[in-house]
Structure 1
Amino acid sequence: MPLDALRPSPLVEQAVERLRAQITGGHWPVGTKLPGETTLAKELGVGRSTVREALRALAGAGLVRARQGAGVFVVAAEPAEEWSARLRRAAVTDVYEVRAAVEVHAARLAARRRTGEDVAALRAALAGRRAAAASGDAAFVDADIAFHAAVVAAAHNPVLTDLFTQFVPALREGLVDLLSLTGLRARDRNPGDAAHEALVAAVADGDADTAAQVLGRELEDPFAAGGRE
């Protein structure tokens, strides 16, 4: 079916949606080479730069791929699921397993790379976690996550920091639910305090192996860790 000219408004977004509809609707099946930028621009009534940006967005969604010297080809009929959406529907156990891999390595790096400011931030986060023990489960989980975020930040690796940030919404929801279901904090308002203190000490001392071991024990099993957190 022919492409109609676009109406004035965010043109790139309109171009993306129109081209996406052609792909997901089967007009351009997987393996098809898309028309050239000049042809698409003429059919859509936009400039080539708009088409180029739209194709870049479609490539980011996993629908098309440029082949050097050959053109742009359809490689999938449906867009790839966004990482944030996948995390939202993931089981807390799955999130915890990946979180453990990220955080244990971050703890090891933090012990090697920490600065005086990082150590001060960790001690402040530990104090904040202890203060939150008098609050409800949600506030305590927020303080606990803030502590772990401080550990990751001390690793000085922006990719690890971004990964941890992506986990936070799903992680927070899962931990709040877990504490509510288990009633753990009815017995101990500040579970895991000694382990968190030991982690701060290991990072401050530059003891990478101990930092990784302490955090690894905390995160090895989401339900046990939830019981200690």
Structure 2
Amino acid sequence: MSATPPPLGPVRPSPLVEQAADALRARIAGGHWPVGAKLPGETTLAKDLGVGRSTVREALRALAGAGLVRPRQGAGVFVVATEPVEDWPARLRRAAVRDVYEVRTAVEVHAARLAARRRGPEDLAAIEAALAGRRAAARADDTAFVDADIAFHAAVVAAARNPVLADLFAEFTPVLRRGLVDLLALTGLREHEPDTGDEAHEALLRAIRDGDAEGAARVLERELADPFEGLGAGAE
């Protein structure tokens, strides 16, 4: 059993909800209310914090959103974690580029299969336009070329007609973009081949146009083979 902590004490006005949530979060993190413990009722917490019950209610809602507590119908509010759950965008921001690239490969290879089966005329037109944009960007700098390359791949994912795949691709695109720009700077790949990968992208478009699902998947698997191998820290 931990020592009895000092009283919570009233919080100062503005913003009350944030201050109340911070006070309760600190008590949970400090182990006063361990995982599985039931929190005192709203009336008790409101009295300890010197705030109204509505403020306590909003603070508890914030803690629930962070994954620290969970209300149980008719039983009260219970602690389910001592550290907040990191949301997906935050996790992606600190992820290693290689890890994101591996997920990207899994998503895109499957999306290419679906695109070959589901694409309509408007999807093919979008992919063709994106390929033309990628070729035009071969004369531009690395950042513009990467943006055009990602636009092509986004058009392929969109042709899969699966909004969850499209949303997932969009979520990790910012991390992927930074990694690819850095990769080109490290390798100087475009110095001798400004439109690097053009043949593979043309082959992918052709496979999708022909409805060749496994052919499209094979093209992407070859194209997206780990480009970070041998780069060491550059892949982090």
Q: Does 1:112 align with 2:117?
A: yes
Task: Report Cα offsets for 1:30-60 as digits up to 9, x if no partner.
Answer: 2221223454456463454x54554343233
Q: Supply the distance in 2 between the matched residues of 1:170 and 1:198 (Cα, whole angstroms).
A: 26
The letter for the 1-side match of 2:27 is: Q
* TM alignment of 1:94-133, pairs within 5 A: 94-133=99-138
Q: Supply the distance in 1 between the matched residues of 2:89 and 2:196 (Cα, whole angstroms).
A: 29
The letter for the 1-side match of 2:217 is: A
CA 1:132–1:77 in 2, change beyond 3 Å: closer, same or farther?
same
Alignment RMSD (CA, Å) = 2.4
Q: Supply the distance in 1 between the matched residues of 2:50 and 2:157 (Cα, whole angstroms).
A: 46
Q: Which residue of 1 aligns with 2:51?
A: 45
Which residue of 57, 60, 75 corresponds with 1:55? 60
CA 1:202–1:38 in 2, change beyond 3 Å: closer, same or farther?
farther
Q: Supply the distance in 1 between the matched residues of 2:223 and 2:145 (Cα, whole angstroms).
A: 16
Q: Does 1:19 align with 2:24?
A: yes
Q: Which residue of 2 aligns with 1:30?
A: 35
Q: Which consecutive residues of structure 2, in runs of 5 or more, have no partner in the other structure?
A: 1-6, 232-236
Task: Give the C-alpha shift of residue 193 in structure 1.
Answer: 0.6
Larger radius of gyration: 2
Number of residues of Structure 1 aligned to a counterpart in Structure 2: 223
**SS of the residue aligned with 1:203?**
helix
Q: Supply the distance in 2 between the matched residues of 1:115 and 1:12 (Cα, whole angstroms).
A: 50
Task: Report Cα offsets for 1:176-206 as digits up to 9, x if no partner.
Answer: 1111011110010011111111112222222
Q: Does 1:71 align with 2:76?
A: yes
Q: Is this contact kept in 1: 2:112–2:160, CA < 8 A? A: yes
Task: Give the C-alpha shift of residue 97 in structure 1.
Answer: 0.9
Q: Supply the distance in 2 between the matched residues of 1:102 and 1:44 (Cα, whole angstroms).
A: 50
Q: Is this contact kept in 2: 1:107–1:203, CA < 8 A? A: yes
Task: Give the C-alpha shift of residue 86 in structure 1.
Answer: 2.3
Q: Supply the distance in 1 between the matched residues of 2:46 and 2:158 (Cα, whole angstroms).
A: 45
**SS of the residue aligned with 2:228?**
helix
Task: Give the C-alpha shift of residue 79 in structure 1.
Answer: 1.2
Q: Which consecutive residues of structure 1, in runs of 5 or more, have no partner in the other structure?
A: none
Q: Is this contact kept in 1: 2:11–2:20, CA < 8 A? A: no
Which residue of 4, 7, 13 corresponds with 2:10? 4
